Amino acid sequence: MKLVISDPKSGSSYQVEVPKESESRLIGTKIGTTLDAGFVGAPGYKVVVTGGSDKEGFPMRRDIPGPRRGKFLVSSGPGFNPTDKGQRVRKTIRGNTISDETMQVNTKVSEYGEKPLAEIFPKTEKTEKQEKK
């Protein structure tokens, strides 16, 4: 499972792999819940869950209860951008609770720790892709 921590002050985000033994802390939490980010190596930081997506890429929505995935009639919000006024479409989306099928959890910082996030999670250089034959 990946945790994306967004910093509203700097406008940057950091992607962190959650250790397998710490995934159980996230399972069952809902969108809007405040978590201590110490379990991913950011002591002193508090983050608020803002959304996420599952294994197949379906987004989570705040207004759908539970961890289930289903087809819902939506008119706006995550998972649908209407092109016409009043347009509604039935889309497959996931509920507001994190489950074991969730692959990415999006968060934003609500309380800051002593060290800046740029020091805790330094940027890694991407390796060049091998040239195709």
pLDDT above 80 for 127: no
Q: Which domain holds residue 57?
A: 2-120
Task: Count Cβ atoms within 10 A of the Cβ of residue 36 and give its class: 0-12 exposed, 13-18 middle, 19 or more buried.
Answer: middle
In a domain, 126, yes or no: no
pLDDT 10s digits, 66-121: 999 999 999 988 878 899 999 999 999 999 999 999 999 999 999 998 888 888 88
Average pLDDT value over all residues in the chain? 89
Q: What is the DSSP letter of 34?
A: E
Residue 128 forms part of a structural domain:
no
- Please compute the mean of the pLDDT values over residues 8-37 and round it to a whole number: 91
CA angle 83, 59, 31 (to 5 degrees): 115
pTM of the model as a whole? 0.84
Question: Is position 73 within any domain?
Answer: yes
pLDDT interval class at 129 (50, 70, 90): low
Domain count, the chain: 1
pLDDT grade for 132, boundaries at 50, 70 and 90: low
Within a domain: 114: yes
pLDDT tens track for 55-65: 999 999 999 99
